[in-house]
Amino acid sequence: MARLRSRHDREIFRLALPALGALAAEPLYILVDTAIVGHLGRPQLAALGLAGTVLAGAFAIFNFLTYGTTAVVARASGAGQHERAARLAAQALWVSLGIGVLLLVVCEVLAGPLLRALGAHGQSGEYALTYFRIAALGLPAALVALAGQGYLRGVSSMRRPLEIVVIANVVNAVLEVLFVYGFHWGVAGSAAGTAIAQTGMGVAFAVELLRPHAESKRPSLREMRPMVRIGRQIFVRTAALYASFLVAASVCARMGDAQLAAHQIASQLFIFLALMLDAVAIAGQVIVGRMLGARDADGAYAAAVRMIGWSLLVGAAFAIVLLPLGHVVPRIFTDDPLVLRQAADLWPYFALMQPLAGIVFALDGILIGAGDTAYLMWAMLGASAVFIALAALALELDWGVVGVWAALDVLIATRLALLWVRFTGRRWAVLGWV
């Protein structure tokens, strides 16, 4: 970075550090599942690799409930429209609850065909179906939690989401150990612990969404419109990213259980680190949205440049730490020699992805905060098309799990190129309440 200090650093850290704690805690649901289920056996871990990818993807696809809510609430707050922000909180609750119930019904009805289409088979396929059906019960509450975090971030309240998410993760870990090793419920116990913890978390965030005073908290399509506009574009963008990882899991499933299990370990670690890198992006959503709402375009751009620098620095640090640990970290999740060998092969591609990912996530947050989500959507669709073509070649030409992860590196690099062009053009800096 050009300067060691910036006037924006204090605000970035004030928002990013609590967000970091909450973001790092979120994927611990699946990481705890992976660590516990991984020691039950290879079929169980492979099952979690498929079912867990689908459920985590469903959770990720609907993160527009967080990002869309943060963007519109932060802009409303910056424009001084605090009562509107309170009304948006209630609308976020109704939108997330309705989507969550519908998603649960779809998941339960289509669980079997969906998993079989993704390559589930034999004993691991049976385990995947069991885990999927039980864990899906927590989806409505999980989506309410997404909306709750979005509202609290938009009003710069970062401590409360951290408290709720940490408590939910502690409950999840305790319940999983009890159900899996105490009651010997296997993968079903792991799924049940996650669903129960997510339900409690959803209730806590629903209280926060209904807490602020507003003239009306009843469902209103007119009030929902700003979130829905941004939300549908973020939905498509995230769905395209999720589809890329779903294709990666499906390709690995067709290569074998060892490749799929190794991919599960690396992909869950990627999600964990991505959410940690996303802490600066959360600050970007809040700061950029608020400054543009207050009509300060130059301040928004200067803060954005600083956040990109910090994200690059953190991503580079992750890469330096991770590179020599390819034969160490995967042992936390499994002791299967075939899985460990595959994990070690893909590890350099996973580690070297981090600096590029850091910049991409920062740019994501900046453009989301600005409401420039239409461009984000099209850029992601283009990058995903490139990845899917490369993943298909990896399967056809027998490049193995290394080929899949090299293609994921290309996906991140393509996104970086497209988003950087948009950022430097500054067409995203639209002022006032829009």
pTM: 0.73
Residue with tokens 């193995």: 400
AA identity, residue 301: Y
Tens of pLDDT, residue by residue, the chain (434 residues) = 445 666 777 777 777 777 777 766 665 666 777 788 877 777 877 777 778 777 877 777 787 788 888 888 888 877 777 787 788 888 889 999 999 999 999 989 988 888 888 777 777 788 888 888 998 999 999 999 989 988 998 888 888 888 998 899 899 889 988 998 889 898 888 889 989 999 999 999 999 998 887 777 888 877 777 777 787 888 888 888 888 888 888 888 888 878 888 888 888 788 778 877 888 888 888 888 888 877 888 888 888 888 898 899 999 999 999 988 888 888 888 778 888 888 888 899 999 999 999 999 999 989 988 888 889 999 999 999 999 999 988 888 888 888 999 999 999 999 999 999 999 988 887 776 65
Q: Give the whole-angstrom CA distance, residue 415 versus residue 353.
A: 12
